[in-house]
Amino acid sequence: MTTILSIKDLYKTYAGGFEALKGVSLDIKEGEILALLGPNGAGKTTLISTICGITTPSSGTVTVGGHDIVGDFRAARRMIGLVPQEIALEPFEKVWNTVRFSRGLFGHGPDNARIEEILRKLSLFEKRKSSIKELSGGMKRRVLIAKALAHEPRILFLDEPTAGVDVELRKDMWEIVAELKQAGVTIILTTHYIEEAEAIADRVGVIDKGKLLLVQEKKTMMAQMGKKQIEVMLTEPVAAIPASLAAHNLTLNGTGDTLIYTYDIHAERTGITTLLNDVAQAGLVLRDVQTRQSSLEEIFVNLVSGEPA
């Protein structure tokens, strides 16, 4: 896959002296979905705003499809669609007109068939004559996506696309993102819903305090950084972990009927066989055994707090 977006050593210091980006470098491949994870104030929105031209970079370069975002901004911006975090729409305007406006703003002539296609894809066609103020919050988010797609961008930025939306709409959004990926659109989304990144991203970038801490394939990240745990469920609860099992560093759950063993999946020996033997030797009877892998959320929290996952 070719690189469609290349960020090199990007710095952004605001007028008040706040350093929002501290040397971010990142290459994004065409057709991938990259999720940028980070706590509030990490620099996610500043990064997107800088790439899209809303904020001017202090130093560094960004190229979109080989076009510099400053020197060749017209060509670069034509390739980008942005769905902002906040619902920012003119309340009295009609859905159709606002999408047509966005298309025109990006230099494309009116194309009713294309606008209809976009509105149908986003289940907005029936609402095309409605004023924005008549729409529900979910529909307004769809309008924002329709506006961003109106000029047929090759890269779509979704800044917290599902912040404050209900579960059903969130799933709808994920389906829309999947369809766009199918159509070959590169998608960069920021989120602090870890499950969102886990569900739809190909790669995950973790950003905090203006620095990109890590960018990895989602599966690789989880495999490399994730711990695995075995939960050994007992038929009868125990008051304390038997002394003979002390070497395994087990923890006991609150009800005393589950022993939890954490191990490294990449270690030469996981110690599972020995553990299960020792549990049997200790006279404990197993009811069930299940394994659990660290979620992206745990990895993320540990990365941001500087502790190993």
Shortest CB 76 distance to other proteins, Å: 8
The residue from 14, 171, 237, 264 that contacts other proteins (CB under 8 A) is 14
Strand partners, 204: 35, 216
Query: Which one of the spans 26-34, 102-110, 181-189, 287-295 is the region binding other proteins (CB under 8 A)?
Result: 102-110
**C-beta of 81: minimal distance to other proteins in Å?**
9
The residue within the footprint of other proteins, chosen from 68, 93, 202, 257 (CB under 8 A), is 93
Q: By C-beta, is 164 or 237 nearer to other proteins?
A: 164
Q: Which long-range contacts (CB under 8 A, 24 or more apart) does 40-45 make?
A: 40/192, 42/207, 42/208, 42/209, 42/210, 43/12, 43/207, 43/208, 43/209, 43/210, 43/211, 44/159, 44/190, 44/207, 45/85, 45/159, 45/190
CA atoms within 13 A on the CB side of 302: 14
3-state secondary structure of 306: coil
Q: Are 64 and 153 in contact (CB under 8 A)?
A: no
Residue among 1, 17, 88, 168 that touches other proteins (CB under 8 A): 88
The helix or strand, by DSSP H or E, that contains position 222, with its residue range, turns out to be helix 218-225
Residue 92 has a CB neighbour count (10 Å cut-off) of: 8
CB of 201 to other proteins, least distance (A): 23
Q: How far is the CB of 121 from other proteins (least distance, A)?
A: 20
* Least distance between other proteins and beta carbon 108 (Å): 7
* CA 274/CA 18 separation, integer angstroms: 54
- The amino acid at residue 22 is K
Among candidate residues 79, 73, 57, the one with its CA nearest the CA of residue 3: 79
289's enclosing H/E stretch is strand 286-293
Query: Rule CB under 8 A: which of 27-86 touch other proteins?
Result: 52-56, 73-78, 80, 82, 84, 86
Q: Which residue, 185 or 225, is less far from other proteins as judged by CB? A: 185
Site string for other proteins, 142-181 (x = CB under 8 A): -----x----------------------------------
**Sign of the Cα pseudo-torsion (13, 17, 20, 24, in order):** positive
* Contacting other proteins within 104-123 (CB under 8 A): 104-109
> Of the two residues 108 and 228, which places its CB atom closer to other proteins in the complex?
108
Say whether residue 15 binds other proteins (CB under 8 A): yes
Query: Could you list the residues that contact other proteins (CB under 8 A)?
Result: 14-15, 52-56, 73-78, 80, 82, 84, 86, 88-93, 97, 100-109, 147
